[in-house]
Structures are given as C-alpha cells and as structure tokens.
Structure 1
Amino acid sequence: MGLLGEILLTLAVVCALYIAWQLWWTGVESEHTQLATRQSSSWTDPGNANGKVSIAHAQQGNPPQEPTSAKVGDLIAQLYIPRFGSAWSRNVVEGTTNEQLARHGVGRYTNTQMPGQVGNFAVAGHRAGYGEPLAHVDTFVEGDAIIVRTKDYWYVYHYTTKSIVLPTDIGVIAPNPTDPSAAAVKRMITLTTCEPRYSEATHRWISWGELDYWAKVSDGIPKELADSSGTNAVTFKEQNQGDVLTRLNSLRPVVMVLLLAYAVIYLAALAVWRYPALRAIRNGSKPRPDFSLYGAFYRHQSGIAPIRWLLLLILAVAAAAAMFEWLFPWVASNVPYLQLMSNYVSVQ
C-alpha cells in the first residue's frame, strides 16, 4: 500500500507540473519569442523630452494605415490594455494559426482591416496558456482603453461591448460586425478568444471597441498609458528587457548545470561521508525500514542528512526542468486528448 501510495503521489505531482507547464511555462516561452521579435525590429522608443516620455497629441482627421501589407508571422503592432495591468502588452502578428498564437501573442485575422482603417481590425489570442493574452476579457468595463501601437503610430480605441458566440459565427469579425451584410461605417477593433477559459472551447468570447483618436509615436505616448504624474508607466524599451526566465531560450542548460552540481556534491560527500544512513542500518543502530521508493532513493544519496536532502532537491528540480523541456511537449504533441486540450505548438 505504501508503494502504491508513492506511485499515485508521483503521478499527482507530474500532473500538477503538467498544468504548470501548460498554463505558465508556455507563456514564458511565448514571452521569449515576443521579446526576440521586438529586439530584432527597427521600432524606436516613443518620443521624450528631458528624459521623460511626453504625452502624444491626439491627431485629427483620417488616421494613416500602417502597415499597408504584411506576411504571416510579421510583427505588425503591439497591443496595450491598461485594464489588464500597467505593464501589460503583447505583440500582434499577421495570422491566427496555432503557431502564430502560441509563439507570438496575438494574431490578426488576415481578411480583416489594418489598425485605424474603416472596418474591423480583428485579432485572436489564447485565454489560457501561451501567455494567456486575453485571459481577462471578462473584466472589461465600457470605455476601457484598447491601444494599438504600430511602428510609427498609436491607435486608441475604447471598449464598447461583448458577445459570446459559436466558433462558426464569423460575422463578428466582418467589417461591420453589427450588420455583416452592410458596409463598414466605423473604425473598430475586435478581440476574440476562447470560452470557457479552462475547458474545451465550445464558444468564442468577443470584445469590441471603437477608435477614439490616433497619435504619432515620435510625439510620445497616449495619455491612457501615463501614470497620474504624467510620466510613462509602460515603455517599449522596458518591455524589450524581459526578466531572467524570459531571456532563457531553453531549459537544457539549466538541466545540465543542475546535473553537474549534483555530481560534484555527490562525489564530494561520497569521499567524506560515504553512505551513513546505509551504514547505520547494516550496523544495527537503526532498524531496517519497510521498502519505499523514496526512502531507498534518499538512503542511497551520499553524505549526512542535509546533504542528502540538498541532492534530492537538485534532482527534483532537474527532473521538473527536463519534463518541461522534453516530456510535456512530447505528450502534448502526441497524446490525442492532450493534443486537443492544449493546441500545443513548439515555440523553439
């Protein structure tokens, strides 16, 4: 019964790690790809004066179209939604295939309009996993800013309403989504994502917005991205930096470093202490325990108890990293049920 319990506990831990991989690590990988895309672009920081980012003047008249065309996978914009966090942004690329949504954040439906155009600039994004760019669409409040930055321009929309529809209802991304048979009369943005969030996506959550104004990136940032003191809360430069995990291209070096550290500590402890737990059992100073997978593994680590626990911790972290790097991507790509659930696409 003890052995069965250990096996079940191990399976539970592996399942929990799989969920963490699906909901968290795929997002880290997506962030890495988005960071690399931004760093390779020729986009400049918003205009500033005296070291402070200025508030861009709202421009009148018809907004310019940018870009005029794009190939699938091209970076066409960045999406800023203050409701989702002061530092929240995602890349917007051309195309809505699984590969684009998993790798690049948010994708534009190729048959819809470009930012600022009369019609419907429609994009799609995941709601769970892969950075979950549209996880919190249910928190939108009427009037919330939805801001699109292209290379040279800002397009500031405001949220108007939502709808939950079947995946077959493609009229929601039509140039005139309120009446797909009629000509477009407004400059709109549409965000589409899965509903419900954590199970099979039987429906689509649709969020609509309308354009308020446009501005030049060279003039600064929209007022909606400034804090109360008038300085910028989120800058393109800051987003290009990323954190330690985001800058990781692969967990392979982590696994190798951990295994090397394990070998060094194990051999050093072996030279000094050998196997005190096993020696105590053989000498009769400790009773022979019942068979246990975890117990046997612990006793066969060299060194005193703190060293053995450290060795086990290193191995556990290395095993988790190896599962994130190799096992979970494989099962998500090859096990039919997990394939359907995760829509996994490698971001390597």
Structure 2
Amino acid sequence: MPAAPVAAAGAGSGKRRRKRPFEGFSVIGAFGEILLTAGVLMLLYLVWQLWYNDMVERGQQDGAAASLSQQWDKDAKENPAPAFEGAAPVIPTPVDGETFANLRIPRFGESYGAPLAGGVSKAKTLDKAGIGHYSDTQLPGQPGNFALAGHRNTHGAPLNQVANLRVGDAIVIETPEGWFTYRYRNSEYVPPTAVDVLNAVPREDSVAATQSVITLTSCNPIMSTAERIIAYGLFESFTPRADGAPKSLNPVEG
C-alpha cells in the first residue's frame, strides 16, 4: 500500500501570512553598511592619493629632472662655457614658478631628482615643480642661506625622506652652469612660526653671513602641519658642467 503523501507546510492552516514590507529591515544595520562602504571608499582614496598618485608623480619629477640634465648637457656641448676660475658663479634669480635647477640627494635613491623652481607658492611651485626656493633668501653658493621647501606627502613628496639624512650626506643643486655640493650637518623641529630658520644665518638675527648654508624645510610629522622639520647643510664645492658630474652624486651605501 503506497505511503500517504506528506502534507505541505502550512496545509490546513488557512491563508498564508504575508510578509510586511519592512519586516527584517534595520535602520542601524543599514547605517552600519553605509559607514562600512564609506570607510572602504575613503581607504581606497587614501591609497590612491598617498601611495599610487605619489608614486606616479615621484616618477614624473625624477623624469623631469633627468630631462633637464640632458638638455643642459646638450646646451653645454653646443655652447661651451669659459673655463671656470675662482668662486662659484652667481645664478640668476628665478621668477615665481620658473624652474632653474634640480635638487639631487643620493641618500634618497640613485635616480632621485626634483626640479627646483622660484617661489614657494603651492599653486605655481610646490604642487607642480616639486621644490621651491624662498625668494628672499640667497642663491646657491652665495654667502648666506639658500632656503628651500617641499612636500613630505602628496605631489610626489620630494622631501619625504628628509628625516633619513645622515651627517655628511651630499645635497646637490644642479644648474645649467654645474653642480653646487652641500653636506648635511643637522636637523631640528620647530613650530610653523619659526621663520628665523630663513635668516642669512639660520636662527640668528642681525648676524652677517660668512658661510653658504642650504636649508630644507617641510612639514612634520608626515601628513600633518603641526610643526616643521628643518635640515641644514654647508656648502662644500662647485663643479662646472664641463668637468662632468661630481663624485658627490655617487650612490651611497648603508
């Protein structure tokens, strides 16, 4: 005798219960999902802005500096400069946003290069060229303070590694005329109001300069403007372009 069929669920119970339109919906749960999605999107943006985009712009600045070097080499061969004698040449004062040199720091990597332009405005210089020159400070090789500024994050982050400098590291300014080599001495951390780091003799008022100093300024800590990191170096020598790149540009070890 065949088995009796199994009764369907709910059979004999009358009409089925209709599910209410918002049954199972949780406002808190939905809000949590929105926050989670927003967090993921923010994380992706930060990865793009602070890593990928910086990496792309860092490569672009390295390439721009290399192109300038090649152009200056070509110009020097086509129009040889007079034999170099005596003190370092005086570099013409650049206008705001005008690229006039490259910053090269072997400690930051063999291919590292950052175009250097006049002024320190974000729109014309720091966000575009890479490194900016405080227009009211001296120029390379001159007695006094040759002061520069650059980002530690975003826009290629050309001074991202400034805290890694070691005593004696070369800080080289490449110009069409040749290379100005400075040697790193020390760093300090100051509030944003400490504008005396730009004095002819940094941190000293009304003192006549007898040495040529380079000053690198950037924000500290990374991703913050709470204070400034200041790195100083002393001028060592000038190498004319006709003599070829100086040994100070050799890769560093350790």
Q: Same fold (TM over 0.5)?
A: yes
Q: Which residue of 2 aligns with 1:208?
A: 232
Q: Which residue of 1 aligns with 2:191?
A: 166
Q: Which residue of 2 aligns with 1:14?
A: 41
Percent of counterpart pairs with the same letter? 38
Compute the displacement of 1:87 (Å).
1.4
> Could you say what the CA RMSD is over the residues aligned between the two structures, in angstroms?
2.8
**Residue 223 to residue 37, structure 1, CA distance change in 2 (3 Å):** closer
Distance 2:115 2:206 in 1: 31
**Residue 116 to residue 197, structure 1, CA distance change in 2 (3 Å):** same
Distance 1:172 1:6 in 2: 49
**Secondary structure of residue in 2 paired with 1:22:** helix
Q: Which residue of 2 aligns with 1:131?
A: 156
Q: Which residue of 2 aligns with 1:154?
A: 179
Instruction: Return the match for 1:142 from 167, 183, 190.
Output: 167
Q: TM-score, normalised by structure 2?
A: 0.75
**Secondary structure of residue in 2 paired with 1:138:** helix
Instruction: Give runs of aligned pairs for residues 224-243 of structure 1, distance below 5 A.
Output: 224-226=248-250
> Does the 8 A contact of 2:150 with 2:157 survive in 1?
yes
Q: Which residue of 2 aligns with 1:83?
A: 107
The one-letter amino acid of 1:90's match is A
Q: Which residue of 2 aligns with 1:217?
A: 241
Q: Name which of structure 1's ranges 10-19 and 109-118 shifts more when overlaid on structure 2.
A: 10-19
The one-letter amino acid of 1:93's match is A
Compute the displacement of 1:226 (Å).
2.8
Compute the displacement of 1:46 (Å).
8.3
Paired positions, count: 216
Distance 1:41 1:213 in 2: 19
Distance 1:218 1:23 in 2: 40
Per-residue CA shift, 1:221-276, capped at 9, x if unaligned?
11122359xxxxxxxxxxxxxxxxxxxxxxxxxxxxxxxxxxxxxxxxxxxxxxxx
The one-letter amino acid of 2:185's match is T
> Does the 8 A contact of 2:215 with 2:232 survive in 1?
yes
1:24 pairs with 2:51: yes
The one-letter amino acid of 2:39's match is A
The one-letter amino acid of 2:210's match is V
> Does the 8 A contact of 2:180 with 2:238 survive in 1?
yes
**Residue 45 to residue 13, structure 1, CA distance change in 2 (3 Å):** farther
Distance 2:167 2:62 in 1: 29
Instruction: Give runs of aligned pairs for residues 27-38 of structure 1, distance below 5 A.
Output: 27=54, 28-29=56-57, 32=60, 35=63
The one-letter amino acid of 1:22's match is Q
**Residue 60 to residue 140, structure 1, CA distance change in 2 (3 Å):** farther
Per-residue CA shift, 1:59-106, capped at 9, x if unaligned?
77421112x121111111101111111211111110101111111111
Compute the displacement of 1:136 (Å).
1.5
**Secondary structure of residue in 2 paired with 1:43:** helix
Q: Which residue of 2 aligns with 1:195?
A: 220
1:103 pairs with 2:131: no
1:44 pairs with 2:68: no
The one-letter amino acid of 2:201's match is N
Per-residue CA shift, 1:96-151, capped at 9, x if unaligned?
01111111111000101111111111000011111111112211111111011011
> Does the 8 A contact of 2:145 with 2:200 survive in 1?
yes
The one-letter amino acid of 1:63's match is A
Compute the displacement of 1:17 (Å).
1.8
Distance 1:65 1:116 in 2: 8
Compute the displacement of 1:22 (Å).
2.5
**Secondary structure of residue in 2 paired with 1:204:** strand
Q: TM-score, normalised by structure 1?
A: 0.56
Compute the displacement of 1:3 (Å).
5.6
Distance 1:37 1:136 in 2: 18
> Does the 8 A contact of 1:30 with 1:102 survive in 2?
no
Larger Cα Rg: Structure 1 or Structure 2? 2
Distance 1:138 1:33 in 2: 20
> Does the 8 A contact of 1:33 with 1:103 survive in 2?
no
Per-residue CA shift, 1:13-49, capped at 9, x if unaligned?
21112212331354334754775687589832389xx
Q: Which residue of 1 aligns with 2:19?
A: none
Distance 1:204 1:46 in 2: 39
**Secondary structure of residue in 2 paired with 1:205:** strand
Per-residue CA shift, 1:193-220, capped at 9, x if unaligned?
0011123x11111000001111012221
Compute the displacement of 1:173 (Å).
1.1
**Higher RCO (C-alpha 8 Å, min separation 6):** 1
